Amino acid sequence: NAGVTQTPKFQVLKTGQSMTLQCAQDMNHNSMYWYRQDPGMGLRLIYYSASEGTTDKGEVPNGYNVSRLNKREFSLRLESAAPSQTSVYFCASTNLAGVLGELFFGEGSRLTVL
Amino acid sequence: GQQLNQSPQSMFIQEGEDVSMNCTSSSIFNTWLWYKQDPGEGPVLLIALYKAGELTSNGRLTAQFGITRKDSFLNISASIPSDVGIYFCAGHNTGNQFYFGTGTSLTVIP
């Protein structure tokens, strides 16, 4: 029972390089999210996808793009990485069904930008 | 974005003691969630609450959905060393976004 799976778990980039973080969920959830977690800042929403085919900006979208490839997969792309994007990135999913929802997280992707 | 007020920020307790933490919001929520995050891991959902006044247990953990719908409480009884970690709350109303607490760091001294 995998739940939410993120790859890669660790990545080191140089400033200006690009990369894509992958996320897949096997719970048939409609909604998927990308958060970043920084010391003292808590979880901050980057982008979310309420349903297949839709994406919306969250609190800190600058420097990121997302793709909801299908119902299972939601990827996060850094086109030109900056040191300020050094963080731990979490993908999450839920089935909000209008009101009630439990949010499940992946194990995280730890990104360092030099 | 809105962050929930969570207290205490950190706790150092002896093994076997009980622990209490709480989360407050300026907004009403329909759902309260409590998570535990171990170092280097993702947050793991401990308890979900859906109704004002609801009291739900998961082993030694008990959480309550406040009557005002603006707060929630988590209690851990008879703490053990593996309870160490960061606990945080999350709230959800209608819409697509969840709001998170600032976290309580728990240290259990054997």
Asked if B42 lies within 8 A of A103 by C-beta distance, the reply is no
Q: Indicate the range of A1-5, A36-40, A65-69 predicted with least confidence.
A: A1-5
The helix/strand count (H/E) of chain B reads as 0, 11
Statement: residue A41 has pLDDT above 90: no
CA B97 to chain centre: 18
pLDDT of residue A47: 97
| Best to test chain B binding among A95, A100, A103 (most B CBs inside 10 Å) | A103
pLDDT in tens, A56-90: 999 999 999 999 989 999 999 999 999 999 999 99
Q: In 10 A of CB B89, how many CB atoms? A: 30
Task: Give chain B's length.
Answer: 110
pLDDT in tens, B34-92: 999 999 999 999 999 999 999 999 999 999 999 999 999 999 999 999 999 999 999 99
Task: Give chain A's length.
Answer: 114
Give the Cα separation of B42 and B39 in Å (integer): 8
Please list every residue in chain B whose beta carbon sits closer than 8 Å to the beta carbon of residue A50: 96
